Amino acid sequence: MTTPKPPVQAEVLRIAALARLVLSDAEAEAMTPELAEILAHVAKLEEVDVTGVEATAHAVGFATPLRDDVSRPGLDLERALANAPERIGDGFGVPKILE
Amino acid sequence: MTALCDLSLTALSRALARGEHESSAATEACLARAADTKGLGAYLLIDAEGARRQAAAADLRCRAGQRLGPLDGVPLALKDIFLTAGLKTTCGSRILEDFVAPYDATVVRRLKDAGAVVLGKLSMDEFAMGSSNEHCAFGPAKNPWDPTRVPGGSSGGSAVAVASGSAFAALGTDTGGSIRQPAALCGVVGLKPTYGRVSRYGVIAFASSLDQVGPITKDVSDCALLLETIAGHDPKDSTSAPVLAASATEGLEAGVKGLKLGVPKEYFVAGIDPEVRTAVERAIATYAGLGADIVEVSLPHTEYAIATYYLIATAEASSNLARYDGVRFGLRRDPGRGVRDMYLQTRARGFGPEVKRRIVLGTYVLSAGYYEAYYDRAQKVRTLIRRDFAAAFAKADLLVTPTSPTPAFRLGARLADPLQMYLADIFTVGCNLAGIPGLSLPCGFANDGMPIGLQLLGPAWSEATLTRAGRAYEREHDWSRRRPPLARP
């Protein structure tokens, strides 16, 4: 398969929104050609024949280790909430979720 | 006369054991040096009070004959990516500017349990994304050999602190060269251990299949000593390997006679600075003179390493950085228009330009329609890169290469061109993709006085062979003992 065309500015903004990032016009304008240049370099990988090659997710392959299912102490409530931008009682406060 | 903070870690440790020096004096010497070299921007936070308290406790133990081991009383510093209980841990980012770590990373715990004095937290590229330390949200760190140049990155502050004597050693992290490249550019030693050798519990994640913790030190002996303290299985990190690897401190002086050193021909091509090439070729000749067998090897997929690396690293980063959402910790910007807008505004305000660029790139290559062309293909080429290294290690015990294609470049020189900045990682990213260990050590200086780094690569779990070979070279030259002019008393 061939590498897709690099994204235009509107697409960069759409992708950023998927990542929950809002970019200013200046940021999007600067980023669009930078991404195009990087993706043009990355297109080199098209030259490589990867037929029948398995993917590597981790280089040193260990099976996910299992431990006994016993409860043990974790981070206590006060320390877990100490960095919260907003605390409500014993929980994290968040802005309105449903309009 | 040499200032106390210009001793190596090993020399200080021996002096502490013999009662010739006290940890408190060594700690004061580092704090004074940090103040004298403040302009280099190595430290983001200095915990003078905590360091003095830990040093006094170490001195008490030493006087009572209860020294805990070789690191007891040795002042060290940490890249600001390691969680340190009760201290700010920013990862070089505005989004974590006021984040106080609720617990210690396992490596920090191990250093404290060994009696080491923690001086403070060191500058870094934001979320470890960068090769120059210029992407730190709190300003760049500067190269102690020439403050108009970059120290390398992302563990730039760590290399600067060690090179300029404001810490006896430091811990860094290496995702694509972030320990080895700044070590090379600042004239110190840096080791990226085998994936899984050192615990990452409490280390802020960038790219989880690549990140690894390692030491930055003044010489190879110091590196072996620090590795021994931080390495080993940690049940709190599911990627930590239950493997008992050979000790890096035993056999350190055994030399390289009969060791097969491979020279990958693809690493000596156009684009490499002629002075770097000459210095590395001289180092190879030194090894031959010490009785090592030099053999040519091939890593045919080298030219695809940068593309593979930046696809995988940004994809993993875009996922890891989803956690910075203004809910449980870190910055929140909430204009009062609901939760989605809070996410958008928080992340727009909290992340710097390089982090945004990588999040967008990573999100793009993982998104529907592009996954196969980019991410899946990169993971397959990663397999071919691993096979290249496996084939090379069938012919050679270790590989010898440059660490960076050029010495330290000027501040600002590559900021406008992200791809050029990425391409400079060509000799270091393969090591992370293959999960193998790599050591960088000084092998000379360019005519303009900037240090040059030599890289040794080995198969998984070969750290002991790497440090033995590094030490054999180090005994032949005084490169590691040279200190930048600012650090002279």
- Any idea which residue has 């600002």 for tokens? B412
Give the chain B residue nearest A21 (alpha carbons). B344
Domain regions of chain A by residue span: 1-49
Cross-chain residue pair A22–B351, CB shorter than 8 Å: no
What pLDDT is recorded for position A2?
Answer: 61
Cross-chain residue pair A60–B241, CB shorter than 8 Å: yes
In a domain, B189, yes or no: yes
Cβ contacts (< 8 Å) between B345 and chain A: which residues? 22
How far is it, in rounded angstroms, from Cα B446 to Cα A84?
49
Domain A1-49 sits in CATH 3.30.2000:
no
Domain boundary among B375, B397, B425: B375
How far is it, in rounded angstroms, from Cα B462 to Cα B436?
8
Which tokens sit at B21? 């020096």
Cβ contacts (< 8 Å) between B340 and chain A: which residues? 20
How far is it, in rounded angstroms, from Cα B169 to Cα B86?
22
Q: How many helices (H) and strands (E) does chain A have?
A: 3, 2
In a domain, B386, yes or no: no
Same domain for B319 and B221: no
In a domain, B129, yes or no: yes
A interface test, pick of B201, B355, B380, B431 with most A CB neighbours within 10 Å: B380
Cross-chain residue pair A41–B307, CB shorter than 8 Å: yes
For chains A and B, CB pairs below 8 A equal 188
Cross-chain residue pair B330–A83, CB shorter than 8 Å: yes
Spatial CB neighbours of B398, under 8 Å, sequence gap ≥ 6: B259, B260, B261, B262, B456, B457, B458, B462, B465, B466, B469
Same domain for B357 and B208: no
Cβ contacts (< 8 Å) between A70 and chain B: which residues? none
Cross-chain residue pair A97–B330, CB shorter than 8 Å: no
Same domain for B183 and B113: yes
- Residue stretches of chain B with pLDDT short of 70: 1, 486-489
Q: Is B390 on the interface with A (CB under 8 A)?
A: no
In a domain, B402, yes or no: no
What pLDDT is recorded for position B488?
Answer: 46
Q: Is B121 on the interface with A (CB under 8 A)?
A: no
Decide if pLDDT at A90 tops 90: yes
Give the chain B residue nearest A65 (alpha carbons). B238
Same domain for B320 and B227: no
Same domain for B251 and B152: yes
Using the Cα atoms of residue B198, residue B201, residue B204 and residue B206 in order, give the sign of their dihedral: positive
Whether the bond into B199 is cis, omega within 30 of 0? no
pLDDT tens digit string along A1-28? Answer: 466 777 889 989 999 999 999 999 999 9
Q: Is B378 on the interface with A (CB under 8 A)?
A: yes
Domain boundary among B315, B340, B375: B375
User: Which run of H or of E encompasses B454?
Assistant: strand B451-457
Give the chain A residue nearest B96 (alpha carbons). A83
Return the CATH number at B138.
3.90.1300.10
B interface test, pick of A39, A77, A79, A90 with most B CB neighbours within 10 Å: A39
What pLDDT is recorded for position B246?
Answer: 87
Which tokens sit at B482? 């040279």
Q: Is B460 on the interface with A (CB under 8 A)?
A: yes
In a domain, B409, yes or no: no
What residues of B act catalytically?
Answer: 79, 154, 178
Give the chain B residue nearest A99 (alpha carbons). B338
Cross-chain residue pair A60–B196, CB shorter than 8 Å: yes
Determine the 3-state secondary structure of B400 from DSSP. strand
CA distance B142 to chain A (A): 26
Which tokens sit at B77? 């510093």
At position B428, the amino acid (one-letter code) is T
At position B178, the amino acid (one-letter code) is S
Same domain for B254 and B328: no
- DSSP letter assigned to residue B153: S
Cβ contacts (< 8 Å) between A19 and chain B: which residues? 318, 322, 347, 359-360, 362-363
CA distance B106 to chain A (A): 15
CB B361 within 8 A of CB B272: no
Cβ contacts (< 8 Å) between A44 and chain B: which residues? 303-304, 307
Of the candidates B458, B376, B470, the one whose C-alpha atom is nearest the C-alpha of residue B195 is: B458
pLDDT tens digit string along A24-41? Answer: 999 999 999 999 999 999
Provide the domain count of chain B. Answer: 2
What pLDDT is recorded for position B489?
Answer: 38
Cβ contacts (< 8 Å) between A83 and chain B: which residues? 98-100, 102, 328-330
In a domain, B286, yes or no: no
CB B87 within 8 A of CB B45: yes
Q: Is B418 on the interface with A (CB under 8 A)?
A: yes
Least CB-CB distance to B377: which of A34, A45, A92?
Answer: A45
Q: Which domain holds residue B340?
A: 303-375
Cross-chain residue pair A45–B304, CB shorter than 8 Å: yes
What pLDDT is recorded for position A3?
Answer: 66
Q: How many CA atoms lie within 13 A of B487 on its CB side?
A: 31
Same domain for B117 and B200: yes
Which value does ipTM take for this structure? 0.94
User: Which run of H or of E encompasses B217?
Assistant: strand B212-217
Domain boundary among B320, B354, B375: B375
Same domain for B356 and B247: no
Determine the 3-state secondary structure of B171 from DSSP. strand
